[in-house]
Structure 1
Amino acid sequence: MSMVETGARGAGSDGGRAAADDGLPPALIVARRFLGTPYRHQGSRRGVGCDCLGLLRGVWRELHGAEPEDPGPYRIDWSTRSGPDRLLEGARRHLREIARADARPGDVLLFRWRVGAPATHCGILDAGDRLIHAYEGASVVSSPMPHAWTRCIAGAFRFPE
């Protein structure tokens, strides 16, 4: 049973990350290259700046080339209360939806913070039940996923091969 199902936390100071990239999913390898990238609203460039959606966009570009669509401008507080579920709809258009229980390192998780609200945060599952995501006001980090966040998962997705 995975952490996404149980909310359990991984052990170890490295969060379970392997020393080498051998055998890791390509999306996870690329996402780890973004670690330390400063937070920048609407950014999507490794080492320059990105937000949570920008992390996914940057990983997509490094894996597949051109992005399938331009998200257009969005406010930092977009869709926090109501409105279309743009993040979830976009993920369904371009990523492969999977069962939460099947999520593994390299897969995308979307979060909604309140019942009935649109998904407004996303990240890439790392080894050791950690999440690679853009931390507002800081940078792209790999942090233990708090148990409370498992209840807020709005969807799980996999990058196309």
Structure 2
Amino acid sequence: MRRIFPVLMLSFAAAAHAAPPDAAYEDMDSLLTEKGLISRLGSHIQHARDTVGEQASGLVINAMAFLGVPYRYGGNTVDTGFDCSGFVRAVFEQSVGKILPRRSDEQAAATQEIDRSELKPGDLVFFNTMRRAFSHVGIYVGDGKFIHSPRSGSHVRVEDMRMAYWSKRFNGARRVQMADKGP
């Protein structure tokens, strides 16, 4: 069930994006409530909706669909599990069609540097967890929190960047440039 739920959430999210935005949010809220996630994630989802565009809030909602997927070094699918950069890459590809490089340091190099004070949901946050710059990546969800696939034996989860461990290792923030859509 743990592996099926993210796939169902992504399918549902894709269908919901075809509906008018208010209807999509209501349908997604119903599903998240039914699965017991809305009480844990509601403030993050609402913050994303309030502070960024529809595309970024959809990206954050889709990222939340992967909560509980196990960590796997080199993993980049729901079926195999995710490492940190594989998770970020899969979320961006499935949510907005943007294909990011595979490794976290490459993702940092391919995205626009922003100040921590400029963070918006959907931005990337990087950490030095292996004694090298940009060795870990996650997706900012708002309110000082980020979603990521942390380490072996763990699973995709939301954590607070202000915790001492993450705060000491914060390496920088980046924004993924989306292609402009023509008229």
TM range (shorter): 0.5 to 0.7
Match of 2:140 among 118, 125, 149: 125
Partner of 1:160: 177
Judge conservation of contact 1:46–1:58 (CA < 8 Å) in 2: no
Match of 2:44 among 10, 13, 17: 17
**RCO (CA 8 Å, sep 6+): is it higher in 1 or 2?**
1
1:112 partnered with 2:128: yes
Quick one: percent identity of the two aligned structures? 29
Summarize deviations over 1:2-59 as a string: whole Å, max 9, x none: xxxxxxxxxx964722369755523312211221111111111136410111111101
For the structure 1 residues 14 and 65, does the alpha-carbon distance in structure 2 shift closer, same or farther, using more than 3 Å as the test?
Answer: closer
Helix, strand or coil: the match of 2:59? helix
TM-superposed deviation, 1:118: 2.6
Partner of 2:155: 139
Judge conservation of contact 1:88–1:155 (CA < 8 Å) in 2: no
Q: Give matches, 1:4-153, under 5 Å.
A: 14=41, 16-18=43-45, 22=49, 25=56, 26-46=58-78, 48-65=80-97, 67-71=99-103, 87-93=104-110, 95-113=111-129, 117-136=132-151, 137-145=153-161, 146-153=163-170
Judge conservation of contact 1:15–1:129 (CA < 8 Å) in 2: no
Judge conservation of contact 2:116–2:173 (CA < 8 Å) in 1: yes
Q: Which has the larger radius of gyration?
A: 2
TM-superposed deviation, 1:156: 0.5
Judge conservation of contact 1:27–1:107 (CA < 8 Å) in 2: no
Unmatched tracts of structure 1, length 5 or more:
1-11, 72-86
For the structure 1 residues 18 and 68, does the alpha-carbon distance in structure 2 shift closer, same or farther, using more than 3 Å as the test?
Answer: closer
Higher helix share: 2
Counting matched residue pairs gives 133
For the structure 1 residues 69 and 150, does the alpha-carbon distance in structure 2 shift closer, same or farther, using more than 3 Å as the test?
Answer: closer
Unmatched tracts of structure 2, length 5 or more:
1-38, 179-183
TM-score computed with the length of structure 1 as normaliser: 0.67
TM-superposed deviation, 1:67: 2.9
Summarize deviations over 1:63-115 as a string: whole Å, max 9, x none: 343735455xxxxxxxxxxxxxxx3344222x22211211122211110147x
